[in-house]
A and B are shown apart, each in its own frame.
Chain A
């Protein structure tokens, strides 16, 4: 099971990274969302995997590590706030700069200068 989890995290990270490196804000937003999935799973995984019944007292006698769960919750909320901000910022950039390129200029110029 751990291996599957690790692979999922890896795949999500890869996809996220690939999207984060695109030139359009929308792709980058999705990439960051994907990365945050990966990160959340990663934090979650830091407590180890438990197939018990959560961290609710009295329901079970094997408890999952509650702390990483609490951390993930915080991370999810903060991630949401940040994503929301970024999305609106992307809109504003589109509106003000006339395109949705991450660097705020049109595609044709980008193609000539697309160097890493």
Chain B
């Protein structure tokens, strides 16, 4: 099973390609079956990957059997295994949700979802900076297609902005790559990290410029202020399971900051060590504040959830800027929690909107929900989790983030911002919940009842939250180990070297 490392990339790739063949084009059920089978295989391989990485070894996969750092290398460690599993679980739930009919509301939903996963997993697994760019593009182009799924003006408009900004971002990424290659002469992140300590002073400055560009690019992906512009509209307009799936997209940006900046500008990077932390810190906190304000301001539920995603991205990056292992571990845990819960909220918003007639998910009085009781319970659970109230994972995550701040200044800044934002989110969510569920204006009309698979998808996503608390100890322990492993850079030149 030496090839297991690459499964998370190849399984969706092959599934996606097969889904385009004529026999599958003709039949909805076959498409769904194949899509599901692909996800199942993916889930198995993600679990296997996690199990494999739990042994503590960093698995390299030398593509084309070329020695590192010349060929492209995949790196499977605990961090990437966690994220791969996260996105796979998320995808399974989104896929499940989409079976209620959303997947057929436009062409190519199933293959695009698979390709998106391929891109995301590629970004998580690759140890090559240019390959990372390629996978970024894979995930972006799939996300463009998915964002437009279902059609409509709002989606088109949001997609236009999303695509434009990301194209700019891609250009910047390439500039950064070129500069780094020119200065370091390599594309393998670990190899670059080895080379970075022996730069001439003039080159250091050029690398600094490149690092700035990279920060911009990852910041754009992670929706860091002021590069967050695309996020609220895109997420709020995407169709439900797509929006839910997108919950992991900002985490890709966070992951890249963690991985790339962690290795390139780690402790042995001489004067470049810790590059960008100050910026991330300020921008992360600002993002949190803006996001919280956005959460309060949001006039419909999906937009509110979109700002919640923004808030979590800000929290993650600000915490990451603290720069120590504990902070990274907390970030990992928080990523798991926030991704799944935000996804559940997106799906819930859709279910709620579907039963409220013309007012949809707008936060105004509307007709009573057909299934107020189950939806209400799920909403309360999700809200508690996202606000960071016990007994769900949010509070553990929040406490851990807070504990990550250990010096006076970071405590003052992070805690006050984090807690203030929590309060705003609480206010907003209680307002939203009481409006949606309690402020009933018109008479009940028989609306479309939510499908069982939809409930199942939301339930599964939300189930993760209590599980993360109940089995918090092993999960957190794993996060700590992963963070520690991330700090420790493998010598890639020793792998299959000439």
Contact = CB atoms under 8 A, between A and B. Distances in A.
Interface of A: 20, 25, 28, 32, 35-36, 39, 42-43, 45-48, 67-68, 71, 74-75, 78-79, 81-82, 85-86, 89-90, 92-93, 96-97, 102-104
A83 B115 CA distance: 19
Contacts of B130: 71, 74
B153 A71 contact: no
B187 to A, nearest CB: 8
B179 A46 contact: yes
Given A39-B171, A89-B159, 9 more contacts: A39-B174, A46-B179, A74-B130, A74-B134, A85-B144, A86-B167, A93-B160, A96-B153, A104-B160
A25 B174 contact: no
A82 B167 contact: yes
A46 B171 contact: no
Contacts of B174: 39, 42-43, 75
27 contacts: A32-B168, A39-B175, A43-B174, A43-B178, A45-B178, A45-B182, A46-B181, A47-B181, A67-B187, A68-B178, A71-B177, A71-B181, A78-B134, A79-B170, A82-B141, A82-B163, A85-B141, A85-B144, A86-B163, A89-B144, A89-B148, A93-B156, A93-B157, A93-B160, A97-B153, A97-B156, A97-B157
Nearest to A43: B178
A27 to B, nearest CB: 11
Interface in B386-441: none
B164 interface: yes
B137 interface: yes
A31 B177 CA distance: 21
Interface residues of B, number: 27
Contact of A102 (B141, B164, B181): B164
A103 B165 CA distance: 12
B156 to A, nearest CB: 5
A89 B153 contact: no
A42 B153 contact: no
Interface string B123-153: 0000000100010010001001000100011
Binding site of B, secondary structure by majority: helix, strand, loop or mixed? helix
A85 B137 contact: no
B156 A104 contact: yes
A32 B178 CA distance: 18
Nearest to B134: A74
Interface of B: 130, 134, 137, 141, 144, 148, 152-153, 156-157, 159-161, 163-164, 167-168, 170-171, 174-175, 177-179, 181-182, 187
Nearest to A104: B157
Q: Which 10 A-B pairs have the closest CB atoms?
A: A46-B178, A46-B182, A43-B178, A104-B157, A39-B174, A46-B181, A78-B137, A39-B171, A35-B171, A96-B156
B434 to A, nearest CB: 33
A88 B170 CA distance: 19
A67 B156 contact: no
Nearest to A105: B157
B359 to A, nearest CB: 23
A89 B167 CA distance: 13
Nearest to A41: B178
A62 to B, nearest CB: 18
Select the residue from B141, B152, B175 with max chain A CB neighbours within 10 A: B175
A89 B157 CA distance: 9
A89 B178 contact: no
A84 B153 CA distance: 20
Contacts of B171: 32, 35-36, 39
A79 B170 CA distance: 9
A47 B157 CA distance: 39
Contacts of B153: 96-97, 104
Nearest to B137: A78
A90 B168 contact: no
Contacts of B178: 39, 42-43, 45-46, 68, 71
Contact of B175 (A42, A47, A85, A103): A42
B175 A90 contact: no
A81 B137 CA distance: 10
Contacts of A93: 156-157, 160
Contacts of B152: 96
Contacts of A42: 174-175, 178
Contacts of A25: 160
A74 B137 CA distance: 11
A43 B177 contact: yes
A67 B184 CA distance: 13
A74 to B, nearest CB: 7
A96 B237 CA distance: 15
A45 B174 CA distance: 12
B156 A81 contact: no
A16 to B, nearest CB: 8
Contacts of A36: 171
Nearest to B159: A89
Contacts of B168: 20, 32, 35
B160 A89 contact: yes
Contacts of A90: 160
A28 B160 CA distance: 11
A82 B170 contact: yes
A15 B161 CA distance: 20
Contacts of A85: 141, 144, 163
Contacts of A102: 160-161, 164
B156 A89 contact: yes
A85 B160 CA distance: 10
